[in-house]
Amino acid sequence: MPAMTSIAFRATGAGLSLGLVAAAAPTIFFPAFPVVAVGFVKTIPLLHLAAKFILAFPIVYHLLGGLRHFYFDYASRGLETTEEVDNTCKIMIVATAVTVLLLTFVG
């Protein structure tokens, strides 16, 4: 499980970078693109929820994954067994799911 969460951490980082470039590139030729795109997405409720989820998931997952790696780098104890490392993966996945669902449906 740690390998899968680590790969997903890297993938969300790459996706966030590529997504930012893809979202910003049209503004070179059409400066009002972000306003028009957000206005269009808000007109369709299901699309609005999907967009919120698609934006929230990589941001939250990458943030929590970064905090997990930060903890790994600076923890003096608490990671002696693979079970403890697996538990950090499970905590991160559950925290990501709860946070993303809250941001999607409440925020």
Distance between CA atoms of 32 and 26, rounded to whole angstroms?
A: 9
Residue 59's CB: how many other CB atoms inside 10 A? 15
The DSSP line for 25-61 is GGGGT-TTHHHHHHHHHHHSHHHHHHHHHHHHHHHHH
Q: Give the pLDDT of residue 41.
A: 92
Distance between CA atoms of 73 and 4, rounded to whole angstroms?
A: 19
List, run by run, the mean pLDDT of 10-residue segments along the chain (107 residues): 88 95 93 93 93 95 92 73 84 95 90
User: The whole model's pTM is what?
Assistant: 0.86
Q: What are the chain's domains?
A: 2-105 (1.20.1300.10)
| φ/ψ bin of 64: left (φ > 0), alpha (ψ from -120 to 50), beta (otherwise) | alpha
The answer to whether the annotation marks 62 as part of a ligand binding site is yes
